[in-house]
Structure 1
Amino acid sequence: MKYISTRGNVEAKGFIDTVLMGLADDGGLMIPSEIPIISAATLEEWRSLSYQELFLKIFSYYTNDEIPYEDLKEMVYTSYANFRAPEVTPVHPINDSLYVLELFHGPTFAFKDVALQFMGELYSYISKKQNKIIHILGATSGDTGAAAIQGVRGKEGIKICILHPHGKVSKVQELQMTTVDDSNVLNLSVKGNFDDCQKVIKDLFADLDFKSKYHLRAINSINFVRILAQTVYYFYAYLQVEGSADKKINISVPSGNFGNIFSGYLAKKMGLPINKLIIATNENNILERFVNTGEYKPGDFTSTYSPSMDIQVASNFERYLYYLIGEDTEKLSAYMSALQSDGKITIEGETLQQVQSDFAALGVKNELCLDTISKYQKAHGYLLDPHTACGIAAYEAFNGPDELGITFATAHPAKFDEAIALIDIKQEFPEEIEALFLMPQHQTVVDHNKDEIVQLLKFFYEVN
């Protein structure tokens, strides 16, 4: 298995080189040169596997034997040893047609832990094997930052800097990042929105001299390993649902940066017989508009009750577009150039029909989000976080009468108590979250100014 860029101007790479490259050197995103197909018979054999065993099966198709099996196994079991649920991502039945895949049992109570605990182990492994320093640089709309920091804090040979939008993440998300006082962690709180943070990151990764000098590595979903690690729980959820061999299964996914839903698209291309992939967004509904109209055009930014999805420019959209247009790198590059110059991409005709065959999408308004939380608390005694509520609302909009739905619970509701308190629901915080409010914070507030951020990064990287 080799890895190539969506834009076609990077020499094919192996697995570890792909991990280290993150954003492709030509500005594209790295993808496998071919996608392995899992047979129906193999899927049935996998039905009884634990999460860790399933992870190892899936990764074995992609690692090119560059990591000895026993080393990979140790990383996987270490990554999930501190999850609060033995299943890692347990499946919770809500009613006869709806299941919730709980992705919030990791150390920061969010789905990003599932991939980033492993990526922290992987980066540490590579750093030790190659005897090289690794500087991880990422942007977060809330959950990625905390999960990434927890994955690598205190690890020798690794420094991590995370940019988050100042005042635009939940208080718990902010505290999970900024109460960490490890010397290898830098939190920059940027006066702007997530798209502003993400643009700085992409610009710095596109500066190949800066990237090379400071050994920059990506933790965001621009790194293919994030995508692949998330693909595992699509397989796990599908195989755990009773009746999945006989009924059509839809999966509804709260979506902001398109990474999580693209992981499902990859799983489906690998042979997992998902019926509908449902994209749930909020008022920042660029993905809904694209699916319904074919126009991919960033709109005005809106702050919502589901801040992790307050994104207008979805990084992983490029990966999907590559496959949508028949893996044509020249055409893909032209589309991305048009996005830069014209501010939009437009898909029409049969290509748009393919998009609508691949996905359904719903932009969930704030009021519906809160109504859904209240409804499921009263009817089922199950408290949803606002992002999961958007996923449930989208499930309700698109799930057919003879179909089963799985909605991803992407975060614990305690992370977004600001929204839940609006509907007079008082929740008890887990002890780990309650303790955050008593801890001092460590962050640097900066303007949305690339030069200022670069100077802070240089000082951080060059201090022993």
Structure 2
Amino acid sequence: MRYFSTRDSSRTPYTFSDILLGGLAPDGGLFLPETYPQLDDATLSSWRNLLRQEGYAALAAEVLSLFIDDIPASDLKAMTARAYHSPKFANSEIVPVTELGEGIYIGHLSEGPTAAFKDMAMQLLGELFEYELNRRQTTMNILGATSGDTGSSAEYAMRGRTGIRVFMLTPAGRMTPFQQAQMFGLDDPNIFNIALDGVFDDCQDVVKAVSSDAEFKATYRIGAVNSINWARLLAQVVYYIVCWLKVTENNEQQVSFSVPTGNFGDICAGHIARCMGLPIDRLIVATNENDVLDEFFKTGHYRPRSSAETQATSSPSMDISRASNFERFIFDVLSRDAHRTADLFGTQLKDQGFSLADDPVFPQITEKFGFLSARSTHADRLSTIADVVKRYNVVVDPHTADGIKAARDWIDDIDTPVVCLETALPVKFADTIIEATSQEPVVPERFTGILDGPRHVTELPNDAEVVKKFIRDSIAATDVR
């Protein structure tokens, strides 16, 4: 299996190991495999049996092996076994699926060490990074941005690992107290928290600016854990397959997914699974008030907002107005036209976006690729959380509430069960849960006292050069060999 950039018309090939540590392609594009492996009935049947008999980790190894041919299958199996097991994950199923009602299911992706769906990819990414760095006898400095959960998931996955430092940018004051406590409470010598004066998109822009400096990136061995990293999307493809297997009884049955998303990473993995032939009917994009993606799927206009226009909402992990992974999807929509993709996401995006409204490909987004979308407000979230408690005695976090609301918006037009992918446990968003239900969310035992610890974070201005200096100074002062 070879990979190439979404902006490279010459399709320069890379191996999985080549792109694992790099993040963005040299031309600013995103890596995708040359083809998506196709699933047949025999494969799906064997996976159904494998999941029942050996569990999530074994199935993950099988899925990974379709995309990775430069790491021995036995090593992949060992890595997935270390990444996905109990008690690291609170539930031995790793991803339980429960029926809510109204034809809606919940795929529980928050059983990991930081109670967020990001753990599903990060725990595997930690294994892959450490493996490859050891194989190459080198080190890596991870630079990432988080709007809430990516940072803590990355740090918990990478803390204490040989050859790895993590520099994580957060928008100052934009995360919940629980999210801040999870990240800033870590005092591992290879973890560096940076609170940037700005919103998430500013943090993401700084990451891209630093990563685009080829000399700096090479000198300081900068890598990425944000969803621009292909390995993260690959890990997420696995739970679409697992959720589908758990909801269906045979290989002919289809399932739809409702996915809370801001950066388009989580649902992009669903797009890939669908392109592989997994029987997915619809993929519902659920947004909050920062509705750039909902606007595109309804109108064809992709209009990223400025930092000033990006609202702070009660589902903060989706407070994003420039969706990094969207380029991968549009690349496929445009029949993998790298020249046009480079134009849309390079030149035109700098001029405040682009439109496919009058393009013949726009109807295909629903007809061929199965996409729908919906938008939620704070009032919608409160109403959904309260209603789900009243009807089913189930408490969901505000992002998952966005997903349930979107599923309900479309359920009458869909003939298949809808799995809403959970984003996080309610405890991470206590203020919103209290507002919706007048009750404190349950605090899992493993998080008792987390709000009481000290904080370890450095405040910096929204300036890529200042961040570079901090990275240089920190690397000089620490040893991760």
Band the TM-score falls in, shorter-chain normalisation: over 0.9
Deviation at 1:247, TM superposition (A): 4.5
Give the structure 1 partner of residue 158 of structure 2: 152
Give the structure 2 partner of residue 322 of structure 1: 331
**After the TM superposition, which of the residue ranges 210-219 and 332-341 deviates more from structure 2?**
332-341
Deviation at 1:452, TM superposition (A): 1.5
The answer on 1:429 being equivalent to 2:443 is yes
Give the structure 2 partner of residue 47 of structure 1: 48
Between the aligned partners of 1:156 and 1:31, the Cα distance in structure 2 is 28
Aligned length: 463
Give the structure 1 partner of residue 431 of structure 2: 418
Between the aligned partners of 2:194 and 2:23, the Cα distance in structure 1 is 21
Deviation at 1:351, TM superposition (A): 1.3
Deviation at 1:434, TM superposition (A): 2.8
The answer on 1:274 being equivalent to 2:275 is no
Give the structure 2 partner of residue 387 of structure 1: 399
Give the structure 2 partner of residue 397 of structure 1: 409
Tell me if the contact between 1:10 and 1:25 (Cα under 8 Å) persists in the aligned partners. no
Specify the code of the residue in structure 1 equivalent to 2:80: V
User: TM-score, normalised on structure 1?
Assistant: 0.97
Deviation at 1:135, TM superposition (A): 0.7
Runs of 4+ in 1 over 4 A off after TM superposition: 243-247
Tell me if the contact between 1:292 and 1:356 (Cα under 8 Å) persists in the aligned partners. no
Give the structure 2 partner of residue 77 of structure 1: 81
**Over residues 416-435 of structure 1, what are the superposed CA-to-partner deviations in whole Å (9 max), with x where a residue is unaligned?**
11211112122221133232
Give the structure 2 partner of residue 17 of structure 1: 18
Give the alignment of 1:284-433 within 5 angstroms. 284-299=290-305, 300-347=309-356, 348-357=358-367, 358=369, 359-400=371-412, 402-423=415-436, 424-433=438-447
- SS of the residue aligned with 1:403? coil
Deviation at 1:53, TM superposition (A): 1.7
Give the structure 2 partner of residue 58 of structure 1: 63
Tell me if the contact between 2:142 and 2:164 (Cα under 8 Å) persists in the aligned partners. yes
Between the aligned partners of 1:328 and 1:242, the Cα distance in structure 2 is 35
Unaligned runs of 5+ in 2: none
Tell me if the contact between 2:58 and 2:81 (Cα under 8 Å) persists in the aligned partners. no
The answer on 1:163 being equivalent to 2:175 is no
User: TM-score, normalised on structure 2?
Assistant: 0.94
Specify the code of the residue in structure 1 equivalent to 2:398: P
Give the structure 1 partner of residue 143 of structure 2: 137
Aligned CA distance change for structure 1 residues 452 and 236 (closer, same or farther; 3 Å): same
Deviation at 1:394, TM superposition (A): 0.4
Give the structure 1 partner of residue 462 of structure 2: 448
Between the aligned partners of 1:374 and 1:40, the Cα distance in structure 2 is 41
State percent identity of aligned pairs.
Answer: 37
Deviation at 1:204, TM superposition (A): 0.9
Between the aligned partners of 1:192 and 1:341, the Cα distance in structure 2 is 19
Aligned-residue Cα RMSD (Å) equals: 1.3
**Over residues 328-368 of structure 1, what are the superposed CA-to-partner deviations in whole Å (9 max), with x where a residue is unaligned?**
11111111123343111100242111123331001111101
Between the aligned partners of 1:174 and 1:153, the Cα distance in structure 2 is 16
Between the aligned partners of 1:318 and 1:453, the Cα distance in structure 2 is 26
Unaligned runs of 5+ in 1: none
Query: Which of 108, 116, 129 is equivalent to 2:114?
Result: 108
The answer on 1:204 being equivalent to 2:218 is no
**Over residues 211-259 of structure 1, what are the superposed CA-to-partner deviations in whole Å (9 max), with x where a residue is unaligned?**
1000111101101000000000000000111456455421000001000
